[in-house]
Amino acid sequence: MWVIANTRGRVNTRRFSCLALLSLLIRRTVRGCAVQRQHLGAKLLAYAWELATMGGLQRPDGIIRFADFELDLAAGELRKQGAKIRLQEQPFQLLHILLQCPGRMVTREELQQKIWPSDTFVDFDHGLYNAIKRLREALADDAEKPRYIETVPRRGYRFVGKIEIGNPVPDKRIQSLAVLPLENLSRHPEQEYFAEGLTEALITTLAKIGELRVVSRTSVMQYKGVRMSIKDIARELEVDVIVEGTVLRADKRIRISAQLINGSDDRHLWAESYERDMRDILSLQAELAQAIAREIRVKLSPVDQARLAIVHAVDAEAYQAYLKGRYHWNRRPAEFKEAIQCFKEAIAKDSTYVAAYAGLADCLSGLNVWGIVPASEGSAKAKALAQKAIEMDHSSSEAHVSLAFAAMYHYDFLTAEREFERAIELNPRYTLAHQLFGWYLCITDRYEEAYAEFQRAIRLDPLSSIIHAMLGYVFIYARRYDQALKQCAKALDLDPTSGPAHLGLGWAYRCKSSYEPAIASLRRACELWPGSTPIGVLGEVHAAAGYRAEAQKILEQLKELSKKQYVTPYVVARIHLTLGEIDEAFHWLEVAYQQRAEWMVVLKVDPCLDNLRSEPRFQNLMRRMNFPAKVD
């Protein structure tokens, strides 16, 4: 037996005239439901698919009113004088069926066929009794002296009230949307990667619609498992509507149920269920995005239509490996190596899988950016992978960003800028493109443009701690240290465990010569960031504060650490510089250049190197870095 508990008290309806025919589908479209069954039986899955593909289903886009009540079919709500009344799924369906036939008896057999078919594994008599009881309680109706629901003993029920049909009031123009984490109906923790991956994939697909602002993954994932009203979530994310739903994978079939909810009043606007073979998952995502666009009356431009039309079949096992890779990538940097293995597996299963090539390229670049390996070990491979992805699909915004990302840390700045611009042209709503392009503009001394790009990224992903922290770094390089402190503090409000935010805070304090709070912040960063960067910056701060012995200790610590893992030579150079050891500083900067160390890209803007800028050796290094000339 299936036991359903709706934690929000909402009722969901699908778009059709005979609600009962899809009762099994409907009950799985409600977010936060507890389904006390581990597996969807093959028989039930087949039945659900049969229902989903039946023809002649029509949208219930009106409102049925009786007395002080109104049944809003599009929103899936019963209201009394405008106030929503809690009503579970089966009583709601029962009321709708009775209202379709006012004054006519609806037999028990009809109700059983429409709401409790033979293979739903429930006790029909018990279910009908409870549904009638709850419906009468919601309507404050009396079984002995009915105003609305009349019992025809042993035969059925009749609606005896007076009804009128109306149409819903049109909504305001919808311009923004958030997709909440899809619920994993399998209840198996090892399938969480699949639900999270599909959530991200749907966000990415919807972001291809030019007129629509879609909140990015990082922000929406913070609502996973959180009991909050849709209105509160919509207000925090500053969006007009919310998409929520469920996902269930069974063998090589996948089923997604989604519903669209108005953020201002919690009204259900639309709901739909889809089932496809895993090979067609990409076309399913595009179909779902187009359906949502139709419902919120967003006009798809020819460019939008072209973006959504570019889909292809993908090997089912390759797709699952890819989603696992994205799952590990999003838990960076600790799980980059797991992500790399998953992306390699996806490519081995499907050598034409563009997204997997881009994901693998990003991981190889990410290993460098987080100071886990030097770029000399990964950036060239990352560039080659990204270029191959673009050759296979030149319209992939993700592949162009991957190429730009790798090129930037390979000191190929002109390619990086061209590819970032192309990526944003292809998908103006791709958050990572704006985030990384903002970083590129920062390191090339174009702070105002960088700030504008980060503001676009924050608009798309307002709760992303890493984006706020990176904007704090922009303020550091622009020598606006008070703003940097505020921005890094905001990042820590979003995620107190963010190593980059603690590093930025400590760095900004160091630039203001506030050494004690700098040391405290950097010690915390060392606990949270696995690389050598925060240790090195801590040594530099000790040197700047006059604690030479502590700085020397950290140099020795880094020397020992380098025997076990990669240590970025850039921070070693900065410690020597702060200790006044100029020749040693230049030695380590040269090592950093040869290794393409991650922090060398900030050579042009790093305030900690200002004392070296008049040095011929520094100017020679700058020429070899080949930074683009600043355009005023």
Q: Please state, rounded to an integer, the average pLDDT across all residues of the chain.
A: 85
pLDDT greater than 60 at residue 562 = yes
List domains and CATH numbers for the chain.
62-166 (1.10.10.10), 176-299 (3.40.50.10610), 314-426 (1.25.40.10), 530-632 (no CATH)
Nearest to 208 by CA among 385, 439, 431: 431
**Residues 435-492: pLDDT tens digits?**
999 999 999 999 999 999 999 999 999 999 999 999 999 999 999 999 999 999 999 9
**Residues 99-109: pLDDT tens digits?**
888 888 899 88
User: Is the pLDDT higher at 3 or at 51?
Assistant: 51
Cα distances from 406 to residues 337, 418, 424, 453, 622, in angstroms, run 17, 13, 17, 19, 20
Neighbouring CB atoms inside 10 A of 265's CB total: 14
Distance (Å, rounded) from C-alpha 212 to C-alpha 250?
Answer: 32
pLDDT on residue 37: 34
Give the mean pLDDT of 360-385.
86
E strands, 75-187, are 77-80, 83-85, 105-107, 149-152, 156-159, 164-166, 176-179, 183-184
pTM for the complete prediction?
Answer: 0.72
**Residues 511-528: pLDDT tens digits?**
999 999 999 999 999 999
Helix residue ranges per DSSP H, 104-184: 108-115, 124-139
pLDDT greater than 50 at residue 345 = yes
Helix residue ranges per DSSP H, 478-514: 481-494, 499-511
